[in-house]
Structure formats: C-alpha cells, structure tokens
Structure 1
Amino acid sequence: MYWHQQNDKRTIKRINKLVEDIVRHPFEGLGKPGLIKYELTNTWSRRITQEHCLIYQVEDGIIYILSVRDHY
C-alpha cells in the first residue's frame, strides 16, 4: 500500500478511522462524506487529507473501497 511505503502512520490511522466510520455510518460522519455525481452511481467520497480522498460504494450493505489516494 502506498501509505506504508511512505511510512505515513498518521494518514494510515486516518484511513482506518474513516473505514470504521463508514462501516457504522456509510453516508454521514467523518471526512465530509459526499455523493459523487455524474461519473459513478452510488459512489461516495471522504477526505483523508486536503490532497487525498477515500472513494467507496455501498451496495446491498456491502462496502467496496475503490481508492484511497488522489482525487476522483
């Protein structure tokens, strides 16, 4: 994983907190959750840092992590 190669423990902790929050509250909570419009249906983003976002989908109660680096 990119963040391990960079030895960025702070960002890794942030990603873990976001994933835990997504499991509890997929559409609200930490990281300013927002629905991505136009490109992908039922796809959400949350801020990891100012530069990077976590992109995910929720379908039938299953969470799919699509990206944890860069913007969409």
Structure 2
Amino acid sequence: MNIIFSNQAWDDYLYWNATDKKIFKKINTLIKECQRTPFSGTGKPEPLMHDLAGAWFRRIDREHRLVYRVKDGTLEIAQCRHHF
C-alpha cells in the first residue's frame, strides 16, 4: 500500500523526527499497522464522523492522534500531531 502525506501531516512527521524520537517511532509503527490492518489493531482505531466521515484515527498518546484515510489502495495521512 502506498503512503501519501498531506502537507500538514508531513510537517507534523518532521516535527516528531526532530523533537521526540519515541513518538516518531510510535507513529512509524502505527503507519505500518495501518497498511496491514487499517481498521483494527493498536491505537484504538475509530472512524471519524460528520465532516470527516471516511477518515479514521489512532491514538499516538493521550494528546496526539494519527488521522488517515484508505482510498484506492493508498494510505493518506492527514495529521499526526494534536487532536483533530
């Protein structure tokens, strides 16, 4: 499965790489798991509703979420910092 980052998600990803290697490693683990099993697994995957219907999120930690969508065999990462 291919991975595409939004501009915001890529900025978030680079932020974690520079500031917190533990969270950066967790994000990479969650992304790999999203590729294998997008709607189940660690991080308590849950679908988003209303304006963001079709997107899912997984918990990175108590404050931060990985927000993503699976579309046509592509994993689209929308955000990986803060709460949506």
How big is the alpha-carbon RMSD for the aligned residues of Structure 1 and Structure 2? Answer: 0.8
Q: Does 1:55 align with 2:67?
A: yes
Aligned residues: 71
After the TM superposition, list the runs of 4 or more consecutive aligned residues in structure 1 that deviate by more than 6 angstroms: none
Calculate the TM-score normalised by the size of structure 1.
Answer: 0.93
Structure 1 unmatched ranges of 5 or more: none
Deviations 1:21-58 (A, max 9, x none): 00000000010000001121210000001000000011
CA distance in 1, matches of 2:62, 2:32: 20
CA distance in 1, matches of 2:46, 2:67: 10
**Corresponding residue for residue 18 of structure 2:** 5
**Corresponding residue for residue 16 of structure 1:** 28
Q: Does 1:68 align with 2:65?
A: no
Calculate the TM-score normalised by the size of structure 2.
Answer: 0.80
Structure 2 unmatched ranges of 5 or more: 1-13
Identity of aligned residues (%): 42
Q: 2:43 aligns with which of 25, 31, 42?
A: 31
